[in-house]
């Protein structure tokens, strides 16, 4: 109890001091970041290899400049990028809170979305999945409280939204609002819980490493077995993006996922664990993780140095104690080279290690004033978004960490239309305020799906025209019963390829 009171005092102290400091430095820092990131001259970005969204309308030059500075879409120019700029109006309709309101502070809105309770009209139905090594993970399916039937039919064609929380397993206010918004737009949200997270029993001595996608791979295979007719989309929050990016990189085009979004992701995770966070936030996160692991202290003592684990005060010390330091066998020296082990650990768990293998569109929504990720110039890999046609960066001036608070007028205007596959029901599920980042990701999913459908129709039409061209070659092609398609090796976990379109959106 005393530790919780001390943690609360530290959080209150940081919350009171930091926003005032940030307020007086917001404009100068924003200008410097714009110049450092090359976003100050939006009209010239296309010539330098970037594709940046611009606000459409006739609200005046001054208002247009302010909105241009509020958000930018940074990516490699391509057919899909042009389609997103044309059809995703939420990308260029971000009006952040400014002035002395607490929602304008990056740290305040970040803490609010992460820690404050939320009276959500959503309940969860849990599926405990036993893995191949007899470990357990859980999928929490979100359903409305007014719905009498708690299970969905396996014949449902509704799209599934797989949500990956942060690496600490905290179910945040932002995540609950995302489940509510997704339900109101026709999705079936499912929250992935790692081993020992959120009441998931720990049945083995193995915990999931930061970027190990093996457990997530089996969970995705279960989702495809349960909902074979629905498309699968994925959203990750904060440090949970490390697991999603690792999965997409390892599975490539056999990931089963149509499109993915990372909300306030942490890209360079090793450096983030080492020196990104200020020590009060590190101490608070380490304390939360130790409290969650304390119930397994006895059983974890067989393979982990629990004294080192529960005496650590930083995230790096915790991660090292969990995965890099093991109890030395009897008769051997207890000393070990933790620095070398730490580097080897991140060679296997760094989220961007297989980024070149990602084969689906991935949108990252980031804010320059993110107090958790750190300085934008050193933590955001801009070269990835400028050179890889699968990655898109939606970068805002303000928004904090998974906050993205907006002014009331802009929010109401932007929330008037449906951005998902199904309009919001009249029961009141979709009547609440919808976060700008949630509207942006739903528009991204809809636009990418429509784009791929149009590409597939174009491909089929071209094939039909070739088949109706006449001549011996056409008759021979129509009478052939053997496929001329090149055989592609199946993924190691036996996932069937779902991408039958040509990736012309990368042109």
What's the structural domain count of the chain?
Answer: 2
> Same domain for 154 and 287?
no
> Same domain for 139 and 232?
yes
* From 197, 398, 401, 438, active-site residue: 401
Residue 153 belongs to some domain of the structure: yes
**Range with the lowest mean pLDDT among 25-29, 147-151, 291-295?**
25-29
> Same domain for 87 and 208?
yes
> Same domain for 194 and 320?
no
Please report how many Cα atoms fall inside a 13 Å half-sphere around the Cα of residue 277, on the Cβ side.
23
Residue 7 belongs to some domain of the structure: no
Domain extent at residue 176 = 74-267+351-407+435-449
pLDDT of residue 183: 94
pLDDT of residue 433: 78
Residue 5 belongs to some domain of the structure: no
Distance CA(304)–CA(301), nearest Å, equals: 5
> Same domain for 358 and 315?
no
Q: Are 93 and 414 in contact (CB under 8 A)?
A: yes
DSSP state of 373: T
Told to judge if 496 belongs to the known catalytic residues of this protein, a careful annotator would answer no
pLDDT band at 279 (very low <50, low <70, confident <90, very high): confident
pTM over 0.95: no
Name the β-bridge partners of 439.
Answer: none
> Same domain for 192 and 87?
yes
Helices (H), 133-254: 173-184, 214-226, 241-251
The two three-digit tokens of residue 468, written as one number: 């109706």
pLDDT of residue 245: 97
Residue 479 belongs to some domain of the structure: no
DSSP state of 341: H
pLDDT of residue 310: 92
**Span 222-247, average pLDDT:** 95
> Same domain for 194 and 300?
no
Q: 365: part of which helix (H) or strand (E)? A: strand 362-367
pLDDT at 185 over 60: yes
Distance CA(430)–CA(181), nearest Å, equals: 6
pLDDT at 359 over 50: yes
pLDDT at 413 over 70: no
Mean pLDDT of the chain: 77
pLDDT at 421 over 50: no
pLDDT of residue 496: 40
Residue 472 belongs to some domain of the structure: no
Distance CA(182)–CA(200), nearest Å, equals: 24
**Range with the lowest mean pLDDT among 58-72, 283-297, 307-321, 446-460?**
58-72
DSSP state of 206: P
Residue 474 belongs to some domain of the structure: no
Residue 36 belongs to some domain of the structure: no
Told to judge if 401 belongs to the known catalytic residues of this protein, a careful annotator would answer yes
Crossing angle for the helix pair 2-37 and 106-115, nearest 10 degrees? 130
Residue 395 belongs to some domain of the structure: yes
The two three-digit tokens of residue 31, written as one number: 């200008």
Helices (H), 312-397: 315-323, 338-349, 376-379, 382-387
**Range with the lowest mean pLDDT among 68-82, 349-363, 473-487?**
473-487
The two three-digit tokens of residue 183, written as one number: 């339900």
- Cα 443 to chain centroid distance, Å, stands at 15
pLDDT of residue 410: 42
> Same domain for 286 and 205?
no
pLDDT of residue 403: 87
Q: The domain that contains 234 carries what CATH number?
A: 3.40.50.1820
pLDDT of residue 5: 54
Within 10 angstroms of residue 208's Cβ, the number of other Cβ atoms is: 19
Name the nearest CA neighbour of 191 among 211, 209, 171, 217: 171
> Same domain for 94 and 220?
yes
> Same domain for 189 and 159?
yes
The two three-digit tokens of residue 253, written as one number: 């085009």
pLDDT of residue 396: 93
> Same domain for 82 and 216?
yes
pLDDT of residue 151: 67
pLDDT of residue 420: 43
pLDDT of residue 465: 84
> Same domain for 216 and 308?
no
Please report how many Cα atoms fall inside a 13 Å half-sphere around the Cα of residue 298, on the Cβ side.
1
Cα dist from 194 to 25, 128, 244, whole Å: 39, 11, 13
According to DSSP, the β-strands at 188-193 and 136-144 are antiparallel
Q: What DSSP assignment string belongs to 296-307? A: GHHHHTTTS-HH
* From 317, 370, 397, 398, active-site residue: 370
């Amino acid at each position: 109890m005393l530790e919780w009171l001390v943690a609360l005092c530290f959080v209150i102290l940081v919350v009171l001091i930091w926003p005032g400091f940030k307020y007086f430095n917001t404009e100068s820092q924003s200008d410097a970041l714009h110049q450092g990131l090359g976003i100050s001259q939006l009209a010239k970005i296309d010539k330098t290899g970037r594709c940046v969204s611009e606000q459409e309308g006739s609200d005046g030059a001054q208002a247009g400049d302010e909105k241009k500075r509020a958000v930018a879409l940074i990516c490699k120019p391509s057919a899909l990028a042009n389609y997103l700029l044309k059809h995703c109006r939420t990308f260029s309709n971000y009006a952040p809170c400014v002035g002395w309101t607490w929602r304008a502070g990056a740290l305040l809105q970040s803490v609010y979305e992460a820690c404050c309770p939320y009276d959500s009209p959503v309940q969860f139905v849990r599926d405990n999945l036993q893995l191949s090594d007899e470990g357990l993970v859980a999928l929490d399916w979100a359903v409305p409280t007014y719905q009498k039937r708690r299970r969905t039919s396996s014949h449902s064609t509704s799209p599934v939204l797989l949500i990956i929380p942060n690496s600490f397993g905290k179910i945040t206010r932002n995540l609950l609002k995302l489940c509510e918004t997704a339900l109101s737009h026709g999705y079936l949200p499912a929250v992935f819980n790692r081993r020992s997270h959120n009441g998931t029993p720990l049945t083995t001595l193995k915990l999931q490493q930061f970027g190990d996608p093996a457990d997530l791979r089996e969970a995705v295979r279960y989702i495809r077995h349960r909902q074979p007719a629905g498309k699968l989309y994925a959203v990750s929050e904060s440090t949970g993006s490390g697991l999603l990016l690792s999965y997409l990189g390892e599975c490539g085009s056999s990931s089963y996922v149509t499109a993915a979004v990372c909300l306030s992701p942490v890209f360079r995770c090793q450096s983030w664990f080492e020196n990104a966070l200020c020590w009060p936030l590190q101490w608070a996160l380490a304390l939360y993780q130790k409290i969650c692991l304390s119930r397994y202290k006895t059983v974890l003592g067989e393979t982990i140095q629990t004294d080192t684990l529960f005496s650590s005060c930083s995230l790096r010390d915790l991660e090292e104690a969990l995965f890099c330091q093991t109890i030395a066998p009897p008769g051997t020296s207890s000393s070990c080279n933790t620095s070398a082990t730490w580097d080897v650990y991140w060679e296997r768990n760094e989220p961007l290690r297989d980024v070149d293998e990602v084969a689906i569109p991935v949108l990252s929504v980031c804010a320059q004033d993110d107090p958790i990720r750190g300085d934008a110039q050193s933590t955001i890999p801009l070269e990835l978004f400028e050179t890889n046609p699968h990655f898109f960066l939606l970068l805002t001036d303000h928004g904090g960490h998974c906050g993205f608070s907006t002014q009331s007028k802009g929010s109401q205007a932007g929330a008037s239309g449906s951005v998902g596959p199904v309009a919001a029901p009249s029961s009141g599920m979709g009547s609440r305020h919808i976060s700008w980042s949630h509207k942006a990701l739903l528009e991204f999913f809809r636009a990418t799906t429509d784009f791929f459908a149009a590409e597939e129709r174009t491909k089929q039409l071209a094939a039909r025209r070739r088949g109706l061209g006449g001549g011996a070659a056409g008759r021979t092609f129509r009478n052939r019963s053997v496929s001329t398609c090149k055989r592609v090796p199946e993924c190691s976990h036996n996932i069937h390829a779902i991408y039958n379109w040509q990736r012309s959106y990368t042109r």
